[in-house]
Amino acid sequence: MTSLDELPLRPELRGRTPYGAPQLQVTHRLNTNENPHPLPAELLASLGEALGHAALELNRYPDRDAVALRTDLAAYLSRGGDRVEPAQVWAANGSNEVLQQLLQAFGGAGRTALGFTPSYSMHPIISAGTGTGWVDGHRRADFTIDAEAAVAQVREVRPDVVFVTSPNNPTGTAVALETIERLYDATEGVVVVDEAYAEFARTGTPSALGLLPGRARLVVSRTMSKAFGMAGLRLGYLAADPAVVDAVQLVRLPYHLSSLTQAAARAALAHTDALLATVDAVKEQRDRIVAALPSLGLTSVPSDANFVLFGRFADASAAWKALLAHDVLVRDVGIPGWLRVTAGTPAETDAFLTALGEVAPEHRLGD
Ligand SMILES: Cc1ncc(COP(=O)(O)O)c(C=O)c1O
């Protein structure tokens, strides 16, 4: 067996581990923030039809610029009240690929990205993959971003790309628009607001889409993997100034988005209301989890997402294993004392809370 050390690997990739949320055979998989609700029957029928239609032209390359899909995505984003034009939208295979293209265009060798940790683990990983340096930004002990301190850090580091995850993964809380505005004003770099979980935000939590007019270096990234319940589709997208879309086109691979993906995403968007009908049900389960934790001697971080960071445990890894022994897979995100659980169906919440009731007395942090 050849080891990685024997290959002429880029030095900055040596010693790193790949992204690896465990994919275990467990009854209750609550570790990757998927939407557990099956796709509505009406969509399944349209998907079959749309894919059959697209298959007739599989001998041809897809629309390289995915114009029809971007038009549909712009219409979806505009539903929230902030007008978004198709020229402002770009789509790729999951928002991870969108982020990668942004780093290819605005990061790279000799450049730096900064994100406020703990946050989405792929931001530093994609930075490394694109040769972009990474700097950990600070958060308060309650995991919120102190705007003053964040601005000071951005002024000092002068990053080329600033990541703000809102709602933040893995902590769940959305970031105030005022903080994003201040960060934008403090940098000459690109500010990427990763809004993968935006649709789950609590009422009154605005999207950064409203900040786009007049801010050419601001990018909002979204995905169909979470609220739309289509993680298997691999469709992420961004909204920004059309110049940002021109920039990512310099680095995207030609025909990166297959005709089947484009057709399936468009069919799904035509059923947006039916797909998003599960969002309120998921939010209900999230709030149910949050409400139940104190009676188990546990607490949580305020969540605008479809997951809850809960704790505190004396040893989070031991608590994770104990929950797994009860057939419940949650995520150990490496924050001492805390674990993250995805809000799913009522039955999944029942199973999680029952298991946690067994596990908490032994594992929660003592007074
Ligand atoms: C904050 C955040 N951004 C982006 C993604 C990537 O989503 P996808 O590539 O499935 O669109 C995730 C997935 O977990 C996420 O949590």
Residues 72 and 204 in one domain: yes
Candidate of 99, 120, 219 to mutate for ligand 1, largest count of ligand atoms within 8 Å of Cβ: 120
User: Which atom in ligand 1 lies closest to the alpha carbon of residue 93?
Assistant: 9
Name which of 80-84, 123-127, 208-212 the model is least confident about: 80-84
Average pLDDT (225-245) is: 96
The model's pTM: 0.95
Mean pLDDT of the chain: 95
Assigned domain for 321 exists: yes
Could you tell me the two tokens for 231?
């993680």
Encode pLDDT of 308-364 as tens digits: 999 999 999 999 999 999 999 999 999 999 999 999 999 999 999 999 999 999 999
Assigned domain for 13 exists: no
Assigned domain for 16 exists: no
Separation of alpha carbons 364 and 347, rounded Å:
24
Residues 238 and 321 in one domain: no
Cα of 282 from ligand 1 centre, angstroms: 17
Residues 84 and 233 in one domain: yes
Residues 332 and 201 in one domain: no
Quick count: other Cβ atoms within 10 Å of Cβ 54?
19
Decide: 112 and 134 in contact? Cβ < 8 Å: yes
Nearest CA to ligand 1 atom 2: 196
Q: Could you tell me the pLDDT band of residue 80, with boundaries at 50, 70 and 90? A: confident
Could you give the number of structural domains in the chain? 2
**Closest alpha carbon to 102 in 244, 216, 211:** 244
Residues above pLDDT 70, as percent of the chain: 99
Question: Is a pLDDT exceeding 90 seen at residue 17?
Answer: no
Question: Is a pLDDT exceeding 80 seen at residue 144?
Answer: yes
Average pLDDT (5-24) is: 84
Average pLDDT (181-187) is: 98
Listed as own residue / partner, the contacts of 334-340 with beta carbons closer than 8 Å and 24 or more positions apart are: 334/118, 335/118, 335/170, 335/309, 337/311, 337/312, 337/313, 337/365, 338/301, 338/309, 338/310, 338/311, 338/312, 338/313, 339/309, 339/310, 339/311, 339/313, 340/31, 340/170, 340/307, 340/308, 340/309, 340/310
Average pLDDT (11-18) is: 85
Separation of alpha carbons 314 and 311, rounded Å:
9
Average pLDDT (250-267) is: 98
Residue 13: the pLDDT is 86
Question: Is a pLDDT exceeding 60 seen at residue 367?
Answer: no
Residue 16: the pLDDT is 84
Residues 184 and 216 in one domain: yes
Residue 15: the pLDDT is 86
**Does the CB atom of residue 170 touch ligand 1 within 6 A?**
no
Residue 3: the pLDDT is 87
Decide: 196 and 169 in contact? Cβ < 8 Å: yes
Residues 29 and 46 in one domain: no
